[in-house]
Amino acid sequence: MKNTPFLWDIFCQVVDNHGDLGVCWRLSQHLVALGHHVRLYVDDASALTWMAPHHQDHASLRVLPWPSDDALTSRHACSWQRPHCVIEAFGCELPNVYLHNLLAPELQGEESRAWIWTWINLEYLSAEDYPNRMHKLASPVLQGPAKGMTKWFFYPGFTTQTGGLLKKHWPSSRQPYEATHEPAAQALTWCAQASLRVFVFSYEPRALKDLLLQLSQLGRSVHLKISAGRSTVFTRSLLKSTDLLGLQANTQAPQVQIKKLSIEFLDPVDHAGFDALLQSSDLNFVRGEDSWVRAIWAEKPFVWQIYPQDDGIHFKKISAFLTRFEAPDTLKQAFMVWNEFEHARFPSLSEELLGEWAQWSLQVARELKDRTDLAIQLSEFLSLKQA
């Protein structure tokens, strides 16, 4: 696909352990792979030091601080290039100082008369029906410095009526710089004797206690990798505060051995390592939007933990996904228990059950693999608006 190169400004505010930033970073890379230029404005980009350690190595993708009152002033407006598209990701709002400078009269000279920009509100991913109805709908701006303009809703999704997903492979033959770096060896190194390899990237699910107990009693060698951050803190607290496993080991060690269960606590893993880890595991527990999609592309059994919301709307989101793709009953139970919608035992991880889950995961990935990439759909949408 041949694209006119555009300049995109993407705005992202970090919420809940960098999941939004992960999606925005991947989207930025996909747009660069299509030949575009991206400025990614982030209120806290510190996670990119481990998530994407080479994020400052490419001229076509710049990571910039969140605009403040002393930034983007008219004093240097003449050297600031106007974007063709501005994306508000996941409910964040453009800073007023940015909008004021974007719309400043002194920038409306002869050279900018033909300039057109598009304002997109990029929403969260859902398998519910409403994205099919609301995708690409216009939203008039009724107040503020941009009153009278129009935003456009853009919904990622699982159907052809939505904006699709960020695919596993780059949307063109041009690979961004991050793709050229090998994943960390730690992410791919599993115990040679392990007959079951499990990865956990979670919040604090109560069912993790039951999972640890079950894995220690399988009677076969199991290697369990625990992601850095909240998963590690919660797992260590479980091991320390209970006699769940009759543990006599040092729970602060990098690796804990309980019978035939080996628990390894990982350092932060970059995107390449994370994706490779999901693909090399036999069972993945993931959380949030970015890892949910990556787990689908890994084509391995997975259980997804959604970010909990007080109004319970996250139950509808989980149910819609499981229903849309006709998940096996045992997997539905695993999702419900892991997300604390049901207070029951986590399903027994037999080879038969894991085989059933693996077949379902493969079917989901195959159903979605031919859908158009989210970045391509955004690029095509912008091209129409620029025409």
pLDDT recorded at residue 15: 75
Task: Report pLDDT for 247.
Answer: 57
Three-class secondary structure of residue 19 per DSSP:
helix
Distance CA 9, CA 89 (A): 10
Q: Indicate the angle between helix axes 230-241 and 207-216, nearest 10 degrees.
A: 70
Residue 120's closest CA among 158, 90, 161? Answer: 90
For the cut 60, the answer to whether the pLDDT of residue 217 exceeds it is yes
365 with 325: CB under 8 angstroms?
A: no
Residue 75 in tokens: 């004093």
For residue 4, the number of C-alpha atoms closer than 13 Å in the C-beta half-sphere is: 11
CB 73 within 8 A of CB 45: no
298 against 17, higher pLDDT: 298
Residue 75, CA atoms < 13 Å, CB-side half-sphere: 4
| pLDDT band at 115; cut points 50, 70, 90 | confident
% the chain with pLDDT above 90 = 70
pLDDT confidence of residue 183: 61
Specify whether the CB–CB gap between 85 and 6 falls below 8 A: yes
CA distance 350 to 215: 11
Q: What is the pLDDT of residues 221-277, one digit of tens each?
A: 999 999 999 999 999 999 987 666 565 556 677 889 888 999 999 999 999 999 999
* Least confident span in 108-112, 286-290, 302-306: 108-112
**Would you name the residues annotated as active-site residues?**
20, 289
Terminal CA-to-CA distance of the chain, rounded, Å?
17
Q: What is the pLDDT of residue 314?
A: 84
Element (H, E) at 352: helix 351-368
- What are the tens digits of pLDDT across the range 32-55? 999 999 999 999 999 999 999 888
Q: Alpha-carbon distance 49 to 268, whole Å?
A: 10
For range 113-119, the mean pLDDT: 80
Give the mean pLDDT of the chain: 88
Distance CA(246)–CA(216), nearest Å, equals 11
Query: What is residue 283's three-state secondary structure?
Result: strand
Rounded CA gap, 55 and 38, in Å? 12
Place of tokens 């992601």: 227
Tell me the per-residue pLDDT of 146-196, one tens digit each, with 9 for 90 and over. 889 999 999 999 999 999 999 988 777 666 656 656 665 556 789 999 999
Mean pLDDT on 303-312: 85
List domains and CATH numbers for the chain: 7-179+371-386 (3.40.50), 185-368 (3.40.50.2000)
